[in-house]
């Protein structure tokens, strides 16, 4: 693709996709609310391959104006947990209205809440029976994205597990990795023994862009698996070996999250989806392998080392 619009470009996933598109030679239009913030984050990019568009993702006209010359829209913008009930569907309506008006392909990044309680491994046909409010809202969001009202847009939804990486923000591993490497208390959300799936964001970006480049991926869900299962205890051990520090990570169980949630609106919302920290669900990548290519899997030690190097660079 020659030109791509990235909504939510300054977020963790957005930054990774911008980097991948630039590496493939595409011109990227970064969309966000603050051009000053975007200029700071993307200062290293050549302006011949990069431009900015400021605006509100909830304003379809602004999104459409930014997208008019793009071949593909990457919808990486998201809303806070505590705002999901009131803002997720209006955001979806806005970006889909813009994509439909312009006959654009739009790649929507989402998670796994729609599945609810899960089996050991799930493919795109896995039943969607969400038992949480967030899961039900996300299922309504999927129905909106794939609604028949959009006659011209070409949407696809890419589902990711929990993630980490140099650009990661507000992810479940964030308080663990930052706490172990910076002057902060290290918390691990959930118990330290359950083995869970995580994806390294540059890996996710590679596979997402590969999906976007194809002509036969629209109007479908696509699962993007991570590098397998790993426990919090194993992650802490790897980080200690990389850093040489012996800090410990304090596990935050459901009752502790609920207690913190009495004072923190975000953590109050985390309580609802703590079931994910107890179930080692794996996204099946069989569909991707058969139709697109190999799953990109950076080993955890390598991905964690690169993430920690990025933290160190930020602190200097």
Per-residue pLDDT averaged across 111-119, rounded?
Answer: 82
Read off φ and ψ for residue 282, nearest 5 degrees. -120, 130
CATH of the domain at 290: 3.40.50.720
Q: Residue 220: what are its φ and ψ, rounded to 5°?
A: -140, 155
Cβ atoms 283, 198 nearer than 8 A? no
CA angle (120 as vertex; 136, 257 as ends), nearest 5: 55
Residue-by-residue DSSP string for 170-189: S-TTHHHHHHHHTTS--EEE
The verdict on residue 258 lying in a domain is: no
Does residue 126 sit within a domain? yes
Kindly state whether residue 146 falls inside one of the protein's structural domains: yes
Give CA–CA dist 13/188, Å, rounded.
21
Is position 176 within any domain?
A: no
> Number of structural domains, the chain?
1
pLDDT at 56: 96
Look at residue 112 and tell me if it is in a domain. yes
Which among 4, 32, 35 is positioned nearest to 20, based on CA atoms? 4
Rounded Cα distance between 251 and 269, Å, is 18
Distances (CA, A) of 64 to 5, 69, 254: 10, 9, 42
Q: Would you state the structure tokens that stand for residue 190, as one six-digit string?
A: 């959930």
Answer positive or negative: Cα dihedral of 17, 20, 26, 30. Answer: positive
pLDDT digits (tens, 9 = 90+) for 28-61: 999 999 888 999 999 888 878 899 999 999 999 9
User: Residue 85: its pLDDT value, please?
Assistant: 92
Is the confidence at residue 255, as pLDDT, over 70? yes
Nearest-angstrom CA–CA distance, 140 and 206: 28
If pLDDT is split at 50, 70 and 90, which confidence band does 118 have? low
- DSSP letters of 11-55? SHHHHHHHHHHHHTT-EEEEEES-HHHHHHHTTTS-TTSEEEEE-
**Has residue 270 been placed in a domain?**
no
pLDDT at 261: 78
Per-residue confidence band for 160, with pLDDT thresholds at 50, 70 and 90: very high
Question: What does the DSSP assignment read for 55-99?
Answer: --TT-HHHHHHHHTT-SEEEE-----GGGHHHHHHHHHHHHHHHH
Q: For residue 190, give the DSSP letter.
A: S
Q: Which of 30-44, 65-79, 202-216, 291-305 comes out lowest in average pLDDT?
A: 30-44
Residue-number span of the structural domain to which 69 is assigned? 3-165+199-226+282-298
Cβ(160)–Cβ(199) below 8 Å: yes
Q: With respect to residue 121, please indicate whether it lies within any of the assigned structural domains.
A: yes
The answer to whether 31 and 63 are in contact (CB under 8 A) is yes
Domain assignment of residue 92, yes or no? yes
């Amino acid at each position: 693709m020659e030109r791509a619009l990235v909504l939510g470009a300054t977020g963790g996933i957005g930054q990774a996709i911008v980097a991948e598109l630039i590496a493939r030679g595409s011109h990227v239009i970064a969309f966000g609310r603050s051009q000053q913030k975007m200029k700071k984050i993307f200062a290293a990019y050549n302006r011949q391959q990069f431009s900015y568009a400021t605006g509100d993702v909830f304003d379809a006209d602004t999104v459409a104006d930014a997208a008019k010359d793009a071949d593909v829209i990457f919808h990486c913008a998201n809303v806070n947990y505590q705002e999901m009930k009131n803002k997720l569907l209006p955001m979806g309506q806005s970006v889909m209205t813009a994509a439909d008006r312009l006959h654009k392909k739009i790649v929507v990044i989402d998670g796994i809440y729609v599945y609810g309680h899960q089996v050991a491994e799930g493919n795109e046909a896995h039943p969607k029976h969400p038992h949480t409010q967030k899961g039900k809202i996300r299922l309504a969001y999927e129905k909106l994205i794939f609604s028949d009202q959009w006659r011209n847009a070409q949407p696809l939804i890419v589902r990711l597990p929990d993630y980490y990486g140099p650009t990661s923000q507000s992810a479940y591993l964030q308080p663990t990795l930052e706490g172990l490497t910076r002057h902060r208390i290290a918390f691990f959300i959930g118990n330290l023994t359950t083995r869970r799936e995580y994806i390294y964001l540059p890996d996710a970006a590679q596979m997402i862009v590969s999906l976007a480049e194809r002509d036969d991926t629209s109007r479908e869900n696509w699962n993007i698996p991570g590098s397998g299962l790993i426990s919090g205890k194993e992650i802490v051990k790897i980080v200690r070996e990389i850093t040489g520090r012996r800090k410990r990570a304090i596990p935050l169980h459901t009752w502790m999250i609920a207690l913190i949630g009495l004072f923190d609106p975000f953590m109050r919302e985390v309580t609802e989806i703590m079931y994910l920290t107890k179930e080692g669900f794996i996204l099946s990548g069989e569909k991707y392998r058969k139709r697109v290519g190999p799953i990109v899997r950076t080993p955890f030690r390598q991905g964690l080392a690169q993430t920690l190097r990025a933290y160190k660079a930020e602190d200097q």
